[in-house]
Every structure is written in structure tokens, then in C-alpha cells.
Chain A
Amino acid sequence: MGGLDAGPVPDDEHDYSLWEKRVDALMVLCSSKGHFTVDGLRRALEDMGEDAFEKLSYYERWIEAVNRNLIEAGVYTTAELGEKMEQVKARGGTYGEAARG
């Protein structure tokens, strides 16, 4: 996006929450174990398009990119993810309940 017009640089900063740190950790661990490369993550992020950049937060994009690369690498299947997400949702309505801590 170098050189495109844009407004002032935002001066807000936030502390990363636990789930964001976990996404970061999964990215580092899976790439260091050779399941994908940082280039694979960047490619997945780019393929998500402008819409995702506008609508999703940084680590929301990253977990989707990690997930895509893991499915492509054959670590688990889309169906396994779908089932697991249903189980997680059924545990409770908050992150703490669903993550069991």
C-alpha cells in the first residue's frame, strides 16, 4: 500500500489481550515447526483482500491466515475445524468460558 493516500497516522495503542497473544504464539510455533512459512501467511493475508483489512482487526486476520495455512498443509481438515468450533461455542458465551481459561 506504499504511496496510497491516507489520513493521519492513528495514535491509539492497545495492550494485546490473551487471545491475541495466543494467535501470535500459534503463528510463531507453527512456522518454526515448518508447517508453513511467513510468506504463506502473508500470501493468505493478501488473498483475504481489502475488505478484510477494513473490517477485521489485526489478529482476526492472522488467525484466519494461520488456519488457512494449516488446512493447506494438511494438519487438520475444514470439517475438523467446523466440528471443533461448534464444540467450543457450546461451552459458553464468553471467551473465558469457551476457552476454559
Chain B
Amino acid sequence: MPHDHPDDPFHHEGISPSGHPYRKDDDTPLSYWQCMEIAVRELLIEKGVTTPAEVAAQIEAMDARSPANGAAVVARAWVDPAFKARLLADASAASREMGFDIGTLRLIAVENTPQVHNVIVCTLCSCYPRNLLGLPPDWYKSRAYRSRVVKEPRKVLAEFGVTLPEDTTIRVHDSTSEMRYIVLPMRPPGTEGMSEAELAALVTRDSMIGTGLPRRPA
């Protein structure tokens, strides 16, 4: 495979409206791998495997998935004990019950308590509950996170600004095969009177991976 192509694939150029850098895109020189993507896509269309509309629809479906979906599931579990029980028993079914299309994803929800804090990783590749939370952040796919969080989770969490009591057990879940995981974080104190929608706004993406905690109410 051509490792020696001259294009540097990793330029960050500019900042997007969401505050994240763009990678080079439409108006920058065509890279070897972009050329391959176009060629593979066109061959698949010519061979009748897929259609332009199907590719566009798949991108739209993926764009529509975001951590807000997971946050809605978490907030429901905080206010509805019966739903929480169903979520912990079968997170795929509970997410579908809320109307989220999670396909064939086999989802396990793991509950944080004062005694246990859960963290999700995939050391073998980059498995992530993408059908519920959208595509994973870059750091989740990084060598540093995948290498270190199974060995020194407390140091890694500290880098994310999370420090847990020594007597809280950390459970690291390595998504090695068929299951995907979502953390059910603890409901923050001082949220007793809040609505489900207000609670969902406190649930961050990282709190569902285990590298963060929910926001505290303002």
C-alpha cells in the first residue's frame, strides 16, 4: 500500500462554527485517499451496490445522531425508575422505546454510583455507541486514550478534570467484541425540581463515556 504518497493528511485548517478545526476539504488539493473514496463510491454505484441517494441518506442519518440522544435517555432514567430498570436490563430496547434508531447495535448501560465509576474504551479499534451518541471524538480514537485508560484510568480521568475518591471503584469497560456501552452517570445534587429536558441539558457526551461528569445546575 502506498505509504509514500506526498500529501500530508493531517493539516488542521481554520475553525468551524462549533469551535472545532476543519480538516482540509473541498477546496484543497485532492489527496490520494480522497481520490480512492471517490473511485470506490463511483464503482459501488456503477455496480449497483448503492446509489448516490442512499449514501446521502446514510450521511444525513449519521449527522442526526448526537450526544443529545444519549442525554435524553439518561434524563429519562433519572426521572423514571421503571425506565431505568429497563435501560439497565436492555439498553438497546430502552433506547428504541424512546424512538431512537439504533439499528442492530447491542447496547449495555452501566450505572455510576457513589461506589462505582464506569469508563468506556475500545483498545482494539474505536468501537463506540455511535448509533446513540453519533461519531466518536478524536481523542476516543487516539493511541494515548486507548493505551492508557485500561492501565491508569485515574491519571487519564484527571487529565479530563475528573478526580474520584480513592474508595470509588473504577470499572473500565473494553469494548472488545459485540457490545457497545453507555455510562448512566449519577444525577447531580440540586436538580430535584428540574424537568426532564432541563436534566438532559446537564448530560455531556463525556459523562456518557465516563471521562466526564454531568454539569451542575447553574
Contact = CB atoms under 8 A, between A and B. Distances in A.
Contact of A57 (B23, B28, B148): B23
Interface residues of A, number: 65
Contacts of A75: 43-44, 47, 49
A25 B55 contact: yes
A17 B139 contact: no
Interface in B157-211: 159-160, 174
A35 B49 contact: yes
Interface of B: 1, 3, 9-10, 12, 16, 18, 20-31, 33-44, 47, 49-50, 54-55, 58-59, 62-63, 123-126, 135, 137-139, 141-148, 150-151, 156, 159-160, 174
Interface of A: 1-26, 28-30, 33, 35, 42, 45, 48, 51-53, 55-60, 63-64, 66-67, 70, 75-76, 80-81, 84-85, 87-89, 92-99
Where chain A touches its partner, the secondary structure class is helix
A98 B126 contact: no
Contact of B40 (A28, A33, A81, A89): A81
B35 A66 contact: no
Contacts of B141: 58
B138 A98 contact: no
B135 A24 contact: yes
Nearest to A25: B58
B147 A10 contact: no
Contacts, number: 192
Contacts of B41: 22, 26
B39 A84 contact: yes
B142 A9 contact: yes
A16 B142 contact: no
Given A14-B138, A17-B22, A26-B44, A96 B27 contact: yes
B205 to A, nearest CB: 10
Given A17-B23, A63-B36, A81-B40, A25 B59 contact: yes
B144 to A, nearest CB: 4
A12 B37 CA distance: 25
Contacts of B174: 2
Contacts of B21: 12, 14-15
12 contacts: A1-B146, A1-B147, A3-B151, A9-B139, A13-B139, A14-B16, A17-B22, A17-B24, A58-B141, A70-B40, A84-B42, A89-B30
